[in-house]
């Protein structure tokens, strides 16, 4: 029996067990090894309807969309219509953010690798029309600049909406049409959708949320984030097998299923080149390429991306040179535990790559003077307050804002303990991840300038 067959047998038995253990309503998984793909699913698409999840069910892929958006942009590079190092204003003369100097400097490349430096979590609804991404650019005209363009990494959804608008302008088509004509069609995808209006044609998963950490997942009040954020990941859904068709194209030097060149080999390679290094953030990559996260795993280099929408989580990992890729799509509960076991097992068996252990808090760590870290750090999605008690205990209190305040606990509080250098981990985390919190930079008065958890939240004065 082949290794892939062994993986398939294991998945068919273990996936139903995992979703029960971790209160995941439904999940679908596909694995690519060489020229073969296997897939399976378990659970339900909605706890309200009880419709069974199948391998042909479509789930939202969330921010994995960003790699699709980058691919669309790199096709324009191949056609010599787009220069990665040109300022955004070369293509969008009206591009405006809160800092005029930064607006003049930000380049297309900086959008792709999240180093443009402006506030990035803006989820304003600009309507359902084909002009929604164009209108979005009018929403971000006053967003603050967190740091000069190119200085550091800070995950930026808004930057990808700007990139999506560049694609629209150069193609003279709405973003959804660009996705359909330039990726769905040449990749011969049969179960992929832009938004709810298309997803309803398939067996579509509904996201599930937990109003409190201990409550059972329940169907989310809305299906997706707003359409204006489509280039960043608010709309795209598909079955795992179709997501792996996209991965296979990137593993094959840009060649599509019928031998057509969807993307040039040079652009495929460019997307996988390291552009910026990240703080040690555990589940996130060690570096970022053009669109792709880059993971330095024991046994080999891995590329991929994760996605999270309203109650749905997606994971994609690809091992270049070994023709292995894994897609995991879920609709609630604790997907991280499911991801960890499945991805760890499959990558080890098929690619000799080990998934690093996630960080765990060490309560034996001695007390430290936390005055460098104490303060309030803010972004458009949350305010985070770091305090220290007289006994030396360091505490984090995070208050979500905007749409995130409606989808989870009003406030999260946890003790923080040192992990590595200026990076701490929370003792309590109901999501199953003790997410590293890196304190970076200096405000000139001996305090950290940013609290980094993938986004660089700036210290308030």
- The model's pLDDT over 182-227, given as tens digits with 9 standing for 90+, comes to 999 999 999 999 999 999 999 999 999 998 878 899 999 999 999 9
What is the Rg, in whole angstroms, of the alpha carbon atoms belonging to the chain?
21
Query: What is the predicted pLDDT for the residue at 231?
Result: 98
Alpha-carbon distance of 277 to 287, in angstroms, equals 4
**378: how many CB neighbours lie within 10 A of its CB?**
18
Q: Which residues pair with 194 in a beta bridge?
A: 236
Query: Yes or no: is domain 375-459 CATH 1.10.10?
Result: no
Query: What is the predicted pLDDT for the residue at 411?
Result: 62
Alpha-carbon distance of 284 to 268, in angstroms, equals 21
Alpha-carbon distance of 451 to 441, in angstroms, equals 9
Alpha-carbon distance of 309 to 293, in angstroms, equals 18
Total count of residues recorded for the chain: 461
**427: how many CB neighbours lie within 10 A of its CB?**
18
Query: What CATH number does the domain located at 1-358 have?
Result: 3.40.710.10
Query: What is the predicted pLDDT for the residue at 461?
Result: 86
Alpha-carbon distance of 403 to 411, in angstroms, equals 14
56 three-state secondary structure = coil
> Active-site residue among 46, 57, 63, 154?
63
Q: For the chain, give every residue range classified as CATH 3.40.710.10.
A: 1-358
Which segments in the chain show pLDDT lower than 70? 1, 403-411, 430-432
Active-site residue 63, yes or no?
yes
- Based on the number of CB atoms within 10 Å of its own CB, is 429 exposed (0-12), middle (13-18) or buried (19 or more)? middle
Q: Which residues pair with 384 in a beta bridge?
A: 377, 398
Q: For the chain, give every residue range classified as CATH 2.40.128.
A: 375-459
Cα within 13 Å of Cα(176), Cβ side: 21
Q: Which residues, 6 or more positions from 256, have their beta carbon under 8 angstroms from its beta carbon? A: 186, 187, 188, 249, 262
């Amino acid at each position: 029996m082949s290794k892939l067959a062994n993986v398939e047998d294991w998945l068919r038995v273990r996936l139903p067990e995992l979703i029960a253990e971790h209160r995941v309503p439904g999940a679908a998984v596909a694995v690519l090894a060489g020229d073969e793909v296997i897939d399976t699913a378990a659970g339900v698409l909605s706890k309200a309807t009880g419709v069974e999840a199948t391998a042909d069910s479509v789930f939202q892929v969330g921010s994995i969309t960003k790699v699709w958006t980058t691919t669309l942009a790199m096709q324009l590079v191949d056609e010599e219509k787009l220069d990665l190092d040109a300022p955004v204003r070369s293509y969008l003369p009206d591009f405006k953010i809160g800092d005029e100097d930064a607006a003049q400097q930000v380049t297309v490349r900086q959008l792709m690798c999240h180093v443009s430096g402006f506030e990035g979590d803006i989820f304003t609804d600009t309507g359902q029309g084909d002009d929604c991404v164009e209108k979005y650019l009018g929403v971000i005209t006053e967003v603050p600049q967190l740091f000069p363009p190119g200085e550091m990494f800070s995950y930026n959804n808004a930057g990808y909406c700007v990139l999506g608008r560049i694609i629209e302008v150069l193609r003279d088509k709405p973003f959804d049409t660009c996705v359909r004509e330039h990726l769905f069609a040449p990749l011969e995808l049969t179960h992929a959708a832009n938004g709810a209006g298309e997803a309803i044609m398939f067996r579509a998963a509904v996201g599930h949320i937990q109003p409190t950490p201990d409550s059972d997942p329940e169907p989310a009040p809305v299906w997706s984030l707003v359409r204006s954020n489509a280039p960043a990941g608010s709309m795209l859904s598909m079955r795992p097998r179709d997501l792996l068709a996209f991965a296979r194209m990137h593993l094959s030097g840009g060649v599509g299923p019928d031998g057509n060149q969807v993307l040039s080999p040079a652009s495929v390679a460019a997307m996988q080149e390291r552009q910026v290094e990240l703080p040690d953030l555990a589940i996130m990559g060690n570096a970022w390429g053009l669109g792709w996260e880059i993971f330095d795993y024991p046994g080999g280099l891995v590329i991929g991306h994760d996605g999270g929408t309203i109650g749905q989580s997606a994971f994609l990992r690809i091992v270049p040179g070994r023709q292995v890729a894994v897609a995991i799509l879920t609709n609630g509960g604790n997907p991280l535990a499911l991801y960890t076991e499945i991805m760890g097992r499959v990558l080890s068996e098929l690619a000799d790559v080990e998934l690093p252990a996630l960080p765990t808090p060490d309560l034996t760590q001695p007390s430290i003077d936390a005055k460098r870290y104490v303060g309030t750090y803010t972004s458009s999605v949350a305010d985070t307050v770091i305090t220290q008690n007289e006994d030396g205990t360091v505490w984090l209190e995070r208050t979500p804002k905007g749409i995130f305040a409606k989808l989870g606990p009003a406030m999260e509080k946890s003790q923080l303990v040192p992990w590595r250098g200026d990076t701490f981990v929370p003792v309590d985390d109901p999501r199953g991840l003790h997410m590293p919190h890196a304190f970076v930079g200096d405000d000139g008065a001996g305090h950290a300038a940013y609290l980094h958890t993938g986004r660089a939240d700036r210290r308030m004065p």
